[in-house]
Amino acid sequence: MVGSSLQGLLSGSIIAGTPLLYATLGEVMGERAGIVNLGLEGVMLMGAVVGFSTTVKTGNPALGVLAAALAGALFNMIFGFLVIERRANQLASGLALMFCGVGLSALLGAPYIGSQIKGLNEIRIPILSDLPVAGATLFHYDILVYLVIPIAILIWWALFYTRWGLSLRAVGEKPTAAFAAGKHPYRLQYQALFIAGLLGGIAGAHLSLAVANTWAEWMTAGRGFVAVALVIFSKWHPLRAIAGALLFGGAIALQLQMQARGVPVSPFLLDMLPYLLSLGVLAVWGGARRHAAPASLGQVFRGTE
C-alpha cells in the first residue's frame, strides 16, 4: 500500500513535471540569450491547441507533437520580431503575447472542444518495465517523458560545450562584446527564441495529448508562469531545471495524493503546497549569487551606435 502510494507519487510528479520541464528548458534558452519571455503561457497554449487539433484531424499524435512544436516556434517569432526587430519592451511584449495566445488558442480550439483523440501511447521498455517496484512507475510513459531528460542534457551540452552556446551566452551577458567578437546578437537571439518556442509548443502538446487528452480553454492554467519562475529557481541551468520541475510537479502530485490518502489537512492549505515549497526553496537558495542571471537579461541590444 505504501509502496503503491510512493509509486503513484513518483509517476504523478513525473507526469505533472514533464510539461513544466519542457517549458522551463525553452525559457532557459531564451534567457541565456538575454530575453525574458513572459508570453510562454501563450506559446504553450498554441502548442496545446495546434497539437490537439492536428491529432483530431490526422489521428496521429506524433504529427500533433510536431505541429505543436512548429506552432510554438512560429508564435514565438512574433515575440522575437517585437523585442529584437522593433526593440519593444520585453515584459510588456511578453504579456501581450500571452493574452494573444490565450485568445487565439480559444478561437482555434473552439471547434475541437469535446473531440475524442487517442493520445500519445505509453511505451513500455521491455526488461525495465517488468522490474517489481521501480518498473511499475518509471518505465511506462509516453515518448515525451522519455525524451525530456536527454533534451535537457542536449541543451546543457549545447549551451556550455559548443561555440554556438558560448556565443549565445555571450549575447546574454554582454551583447556588445559578442558583437565585437564577430557574432550576430540578433541572429542568435532569434535562434534561441525559435528553440524556446519549439519546446514551449511541445510542453503544451504534452498537456493536451498525453496528460489530459482534451483541449480546454486556458488549460495551461498558469504553468507558463510557473516555468518562468522555475528558470530563476534553477538559476538558468538546464540540469538544475530537471530538479526544479520534478520538485514542483511533485508538490502538485503530492497534495492530490495526500487528499486521496485521506490525510487530515485542509484542501485549501494543500493547494498552496507547491507555492509554499517554491518560497521555501528560494529562501534557502536565494543567498548564493554565483550563478545569477545573465547580465544583459531583459535589455535590448541597440547595435553599436
Partner 1 sequence: MNIRRSSNGFAFLVLLTGLVMVIVFNLTGIASAQPKLKVGILHIGSIADAGYNQAHAEGAQVMKKNLPSVELIEVENVPEGADAERVMENMIRQGAQLVIPASFGYLDPALRVAKKYPDVKFVHPGGYKLAPNLGTYWASTPEAFYLMGVAAGKTTKTNKLGYVVALPISFFLANVNAFHLGAQSVNPKVETRVVFTGTFLDPGKEATAANALLDQGVDVVGVIVDSPITVVQAAEKRGAFSVGYHYIGVQKFAPKGWISGIAFTWGELYTRFAKQVMDGTWKSEALLGDLSSDYLTIAPFGPGVPSAGVELVNAKKKEFISGKLNVFQGPIKDNKGVERVKAGEAFPIAALGKMDWLVEGVMGQAK
Residues that bind partner 1 (CB under 8 A): 4-5, 7-8, 11-12, 15-16, 19, 106, 110, 113-114, 116, 207-208, 211-214, 216-221, 223, 252-253, 256-257, 259-262, 264-268, 271
- Angstrom distance (rounded) from CA 181 to CA 69: 32
Identify the CA nearest to 208 among candidates 58, 100, 101, 50.
50
Whose Cβ is closer to partner 1: residue 266's or residue 304's?
266
CB of 143 to partner 1, least distance (A): 16
Q: What are phi and psi of 188, to 5 degrees?
A: -65, -40
Q: Which three cell numbers stand for residue 305?
A: 551606435
Residue 138: which residues within 8 A CB-CB, separation 6 or more? 10, 11, 14, 128
Whose Cβ is closer to partner 1: residue 123's or residue 292's?
123
Identify the CA nearest to 220 among candidates 28, 30, 19.
19
3-class state of residue 122 by DSSP: strand
CB of 154 to partner 1, least distance (A): 25
Nearest-5° angle of CA 9, CA 44, CA 253? 10
| DSSP codes of every residue in 130-178 | GSSSHHHHHTEEEHHHHHHHHHHHHHHHHHHHSHHHHHHHHHHH-HHHH
CB of 3 to partner 1, least distance (A): 11
Whose Cβ is closer to partner 1: residue 10's or residue 239's?
10
Whose Cβ is closer to partner 1: residue 14's or residue 83's?
14
Whose Cβ is closer to partner 1: residue 21's or residue 297's?
21
CB of 247 to partner 1, least distance (A): 15
How many other β-carbons are positioned within 10 Å of the β-carbon of residue 268? 7
Whose Cβ is closer to partner 1: residue 219's or residue 293's?
219
CB of 105 to partner 1, least distance (A): 13
CB of 256 to partner 1, least distance (A): 4
